[in-house]
């Protein structure tokens, strides 16, 4: 059993990558909290946290991925132009690799271009498709994950600076699904490691938060992510004193329907000599076209062991769960009759990072 026509569903499974914090900061606040019990070294005096990034340097993390995809579908997958789409699937994907982070000057003063490269060439799979055990050979679209090669622009506080010509213009354009696929190939493994910092001084017990917005289609509300961080304790990693920082990211629900766009394409190419009966049939079809996606509110949890002297994360752990629903009603290419297809998917993932090579020229 080989599930070859699976690409779109894999893209949607990896959509969780799009829920990572990225965008323009709306607000930042810092508050003092009651002292938290520390481990390792005593809490130092309040200080401003920042990432020590220098153009021309590079460093590396060992990255571990543990992802579970649970999927169920209904209806006729020909609505997607697909063939062998499973009705039920539960797959666990695990792997470990080394990712290199190369730093260059960013487009503006005080920003840095961090290029992240790596790949999972030896992923392990367990699970079932339609009740039958599967191997990597059965699901090549998952097994052949593209290598990660992505550049993020950040400032010294770790705020990700969006590419203004990227997400806003392409997410719901003709290349929208390709763009999502590119995000999916990087996933949470292709992210800058560590939370964004406040410009205020902090120590154990201090909290700060900010809200970032990622634009979607023109006329629609942006995706909003609230990022809340707290220095919960101190510790030591590989002989280096660190702050242990807990960060929670809450991303607003995502919902869109490309039905109107697709209906517009259909009506734009109606022959001038179409009969009233043909026009009526087209109107009936157009009124029922649907290509809707929704992603529930997504919460991610990040724990970072941040070396405040070296200005980098020594360790990090990220966990999140995403629930996605797809509802499609499209005309069949041959019969022109409407075909319905639905999908319900849960994606949970745990990603770990351990610094293996400190910044070097």
- pLDDT, one tens digit per residue, over 121-149 is 888 888 998 899 987 777 766 666 778 88
**pLDDT confidence of residue 86:** 78
| Eight-class DSSP state of 159 | -
Distance CA 227, CA 134 (A): 38
SS3 260: helix
pLDDT at 170: 36
137 DSSP 8-state letter: G
pLDDT at 43: 81
Q: Look-up: residue for tokens 């009759």?
A: 337
Cβ count near 1 (within 10 Å): 13
Question: 135: buried, middle or exposed (CB in 10 Å: 19+, 13-18, 0-12)?
Answer: exposed
pTM greater than the 0.85 cutoff: no
- Residues (pLDDT < 50) of the chain are 1-7, 13-25, 27, 29, 32-38, 164-186
Question: Contact, 225 vs 252, CB < 8 A?
Answer: yes
Q: Are strands 201-202 and 207-214 parallel, antiparallel or unpaired?
A: unpaired
Digit-coded pLDDT (tens) for 204-219: 999 999 998 877 766 6
pLDDT at 3: 44
* CA pair distance 261, 174, nearest whole angstrom: 10
What own/partner pairs with CB < 8 Å and gap ≥ 24 does 170-179 have?
171/215, 171/216, 171/217, 172/216, 172/217, 172/256, 172/258, 172/261, 177/8, 177/11
Can you name the residues that pair with 291 across neighbouring β-strands?
Answer: 328
């Amino acid at each position: 059993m080989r599930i070859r026509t699976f690409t779109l569903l894999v893209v949607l499974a990896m959509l969780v990558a799009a829920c990572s914090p990225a965008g323009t900061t709306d607000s930042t606040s810092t508050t003092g909290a009651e002292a938290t019990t520390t481990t390792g070294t005593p809490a130092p005096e309040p200080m401003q946290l920042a990432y020590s990034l220098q153009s021309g340097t590079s460093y590396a993390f060992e990255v571990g991925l543990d992802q579970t995809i649970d999927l169920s579908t209904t209806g006729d997958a020909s609505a997607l132009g697909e063939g062998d789409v499973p009705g039920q699937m539960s797959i666990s994907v695990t792997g470990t690799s080394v990712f290199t982070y190369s730093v260059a000057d960013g487009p503006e003063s005080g920003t840095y271009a961090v290029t992240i490269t790596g790949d999972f060439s030896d992923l392990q799979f367990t699970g079932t498709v339609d009740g039958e055990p599967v191997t990597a050979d059965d699901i090549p679209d998952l097994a052949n994950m593209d290598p990660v090669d992505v550049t993020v622009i950040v400032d010294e506080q770790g705020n990700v600076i969006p590419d203004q010509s990227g997400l806003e213009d392409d997410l719901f354009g003709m290349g929208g699904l390709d763009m999502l696929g590119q995000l999916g190939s990087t996933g949470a493994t292709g992210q800058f490691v560590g939370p964004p910092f406040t410009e205020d001084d902090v120590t154990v017990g201090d909290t700060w938060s900010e809200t970032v917005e990622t634009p979607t289609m023109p006329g629609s509300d942006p995706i909003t992510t609230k990022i809340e961080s707290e220095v919960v304790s101190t510790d030591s990693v590989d002989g280096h004193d660190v702050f242990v920082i807990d960060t929670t990211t809450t991303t607003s629900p995502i919902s869109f329907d490309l039905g109107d766009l697709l209906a517009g394409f259909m009506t734009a190419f109606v022959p001038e000599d179409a009969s009233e009966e043909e026009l009526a049939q087209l109107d009936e079809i157009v009124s029922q076209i649907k290509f809707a996606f929704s992603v529930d509110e997504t919460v991610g949890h990040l724990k970072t062991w941040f070396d405040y002297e070296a200005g980098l994360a020594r360790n990090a752990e990220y966990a999140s769960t995403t629930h996605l629903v797809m509802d499609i009603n499209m005309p069949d290419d041959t019969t022109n009759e409407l075909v319905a297809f639905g999908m319900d998917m849960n994606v949970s993932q745990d990603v770990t990072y351990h610094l293996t090579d400190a910044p070097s020229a």
